């Protein structure tokens, strides 16, 4: 039975994702051959190889996969909300607000969940500002929201630059790594993966409407 035009690209993308994750856990400061990586993933390999892949690299890879998936879903939902294919968390300034919140927390010397919570608070503040400014005295329109988001994104970007310029040199690398997507402190990826699956199960049936 031939695959539908919708299912075929999804299966291809799923296969590419699996291959990318296998390659990801094979690459690092201690290089491993692909055969050794597959042996560890199927229950074999030495104890050192198992620790390296299962305890260090695999959680980070799965965390990156979940993070990218959630960002993709967020972008798709924003495109639906604004009826514009250009809309995403970056263009609307939400990611910029999250970055400012996280950087301020790191500048204050905190770490861990406080940084993540500050990033969430910054994203929510950016959301309220975008919708509030776009509403004005009239009503929301997709083009007004998008243009307001572009302006807000530029403002957050300038604020990020200012924070980095004022940061002591000892804390600057950590902030830059965080902005680049540092996953060295990623713990268990299970919560993010569960949220990703639940969100997809929720929105897939509503995709056509």
- For the chain, the domains span 1-69, 83-192
CA distance 163 to 18: 38
Strand ranges, E, within the chain: none
Higher pLDDT, 207 or 11: 11
Mean pLDDT of the 153-167 span:
93
pLDDT score, position 1: 47
Percent helix / strand / coil, the chain, rounded to 5:
70, 0, 30
Task: Give the dihedral sign, CA 42/46/47/49.
Answer: negative
Chain centroid to Cα 31, Å, comes to 26
> Residue for token digits 């307001």?
148
Q: Answer yes or no: are the C-beta atoms of 168 and 107 closer than 8 Å.
A: no
Return mean pLDDT, the chain. Answer: 86
Residue 192 has pLDDT above 80, yes or no: yes
The pTM assigned to this predicted structure is: 0.79
Mean pLDDT of the 144-159 span:
89
């Amino acid at each position: 039975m031939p695959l539908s035009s919708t299912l075929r690209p999804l299966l291809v993308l799923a296969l590419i994702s699996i291959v990318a994750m296998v390659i990801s856990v094979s690459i690092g400061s201690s290089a491993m051959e692909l055969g050794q990586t597959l042996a560890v993933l199927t229950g074999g390999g030495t104890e050192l190889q198992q620790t390296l892949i299962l305890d260090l690299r695999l959680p980070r890879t799965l965390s990156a996969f979940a993070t990218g998936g959630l960002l993709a879903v967020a972008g798709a939902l924003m495109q639906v909300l604004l009826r514009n294919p250009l809309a995403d968390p970056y263009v609307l300034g939400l990611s910029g607000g999250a970055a400012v919140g996280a950087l301020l927390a790191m500048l204050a010397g905190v770490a861990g969940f406080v940084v993540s919570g500050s990033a969430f608070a910054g994203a929510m503040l950016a959301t309220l500002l975008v919708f509030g400014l776009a509403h004005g005295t009239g009503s929301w329109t997709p083009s007004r929201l998008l243009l307001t988001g572009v302006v807000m994104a530029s403002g957050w970007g300038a604020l990020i630059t200012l924070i980095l310029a004022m940061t002591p040199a000892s804390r600057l690398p950590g902030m830059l790594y965080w902005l680049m997507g540092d996953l060295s402190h990623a713990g268990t990826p299970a919560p993010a993966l569960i949220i990703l699956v639940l969100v997809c199960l929720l929105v897939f049936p509503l995709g056509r409407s």
